[in-house]
């Protein structure tokens, strides 16, 4: 299940954190996604900021000292800790995203990146088994 | 082979293109990697710029009107058109990258992204078969 592979040392910021500070967090912590949380309840997800969002801010000449809230995605795609990896692969495909926020009991648990799927042979195998299920009989090895 | 999956409508820029213009290309063309080519020989790759490179430029307060050359990666990881997908997955893992430049006869052919691997069931199957090879006997389905 994805809870086993998600990174739990989530890089967080607040909606009011300046865009440039969020870029610094991404660079220093080497992550592609920063999770915005409610300052008063830091396991409550209120948005996400991806590298792409920062690139867009540069492209559209945004003030990089303005609150990150202005460029964040508010409709966050989340998956429960107990979901299987094939479901995550499906979500990555469907939404064209590279990171998904993982929740446990509705609260922030971690972040699963598309790279985590490629990195873990065990995950690849799990995904593969799922897909082999759906292939025509006779096609599987 | 990866030549079948690589995107051949590569988004290119020159080493002298300003960082902000490259960010605009990424945003408009919805790509995570811009390939820098020699202006006089545009199938010759001289660097790559990823979304992460742009994020770092923001983080380190670079002048976004300066040539992209200042933030580009010069040691470009390339794979030949005929390589198999498992090899690409290995390269993504090894270098911690999400895009690889694909060449044919040493010239720019396309870009393969990690997302292309997740997107294509056929690719997943190819990768899976490779990994099942390396698992212990008795573990495969």
pLDDT in tens, B66-91: 999 999 999 999 999 999 887 888 88
Cα angle for residues A12, A116, B136 (degrees, 5° grid): 150
- At what angle are helices B85-95 and B121-134 packed, to 10 degrees? 80
The strand pairing partners of A35, in sequence order, are A12, A48
Parse chain B into domains and list their residue ranges. 2-134
Which residues in chain A have their CB less than 8 angstroms from residue B126's CB? Answer: none
> Taking all residues of chain A, what is their mean pLDDT, rounded to a whole number?
86
Question: Which residues from B are below 8 Å from A when comparing CB atoms?
Answer: 19-20, 23-24, 26-28, 32, 51-52, 54-61, 64, 89, 92-93, 96, 98, 114-115, 117-119, 121, 124-125, 127-129, 131-132, 134-135, 140-141
Gap from B40 CA to chain A (nearest CA, Å) = 27
Classify A14 as helix, strand or coil.
coil
pLDDT digits (tens, 9 = 90+) for A48-77: 999 999 999 999 999 999 999 999 999 999
Kindly give, in sequence order, each residue whose CB lies less than 8 Å from that of residue A68, ignoring residues fewer than 6 positions away.
A13, A15, A16, A17, A18, A19, A21, A22, A34, A36, A49
pTM of the predicted model as reported, rounded to 2 decimal places: 0.81
Q: What is the ipTM of this complex?
A: 0.78
Paired tokens of A21: 């500070």
**Smallest Cα distance from B103 to chain A, Å:** 22
Residues of A with a Cβ under 8 Å from any B Cβ are 19-20, 23-24, 26-28, 32, 51-52, 54-61, 64, 89, 92-93, 96, 98, 114-115, 117-119, 121, 124-125, 127-129, 131-132, 134-135, 140-141
Rounded-to-integer distance, Cα B6 and Cα A125, Å: 23
Question: B83 — alpha (psi -120 to 50), left (phi > 0) or beta?
Answer: beta
Choose among B92, B82, B95: nearest CA to B113.
Answer: B92
DSSP string for B28-74: HHT-SEEEEEETTEEEEEEEEEEHHHHHHHHHTT--TTSBGGGT-BS
Q: pLDDT tens digit string along B46-68?
A: 999 999 999 999 999 999 999 99
Query: What does the alpha-carbon distance between residue A50 and residue A97 come to, in Å, rounded to a whole number?
Result: 9
Is it the case that residue B26 has pLDDT exceeding 80? yes
Nearest CA in chain B to A93: B119
CATH class (in words) of the domain with range B2-134: alpha beta
DSSP-assigned states of every residue in B100-111: EEEEETTEEEEE
pLDDT in tens, A121-137: 555 555 555 555 433 33
For residue B125, name the pLDDT band (cuts at 50, 70, 90).
Answer: low
Three-state SS at B26: helix
**Which of A54, A60, A124 minimises the CB distance to B127?**
A124
Other C-beta atoms lying within 10 Å of the C-beta of residue B130: 18
Segment among A50-59, A77-86, B17-26, B117-126 with least mean pLDDT: B117-126
Contact B127 A128 (CB under 8 A): yes
Residues of A in contact with B121 (CB under 8 A): 131, 134
């Amino acid at each position: 299940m994805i809870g086993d592979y998600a990174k739990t040392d989530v890089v967080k910021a607040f909606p009011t954190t300046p865009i440039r500070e969020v870029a610094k967090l991404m660079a220093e912590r080497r992550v592609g996604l920063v999770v915005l949380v409610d300052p008063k309840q830091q396991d409550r997800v209120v948005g996400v900021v991806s590298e792409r969002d920062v690139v867009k801010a540069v492209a559209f000449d945004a003030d990089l000292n303005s609150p990150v809230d202005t460029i964040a995605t508010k409709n966050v795609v989340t998956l429960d800790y107990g979901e299987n990896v094939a479901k995550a692969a499906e979500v990555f495909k469907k939404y064209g995203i590279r990171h998904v926020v993982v929740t446990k009991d509705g609260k922030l648990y971690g972040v699963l990146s598309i790279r985590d799927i490629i990195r873990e042979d065990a995950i690849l195998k799990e995904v593969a088994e799922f897909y082999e299920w759906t292939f025509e009989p006779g096609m599987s090895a």
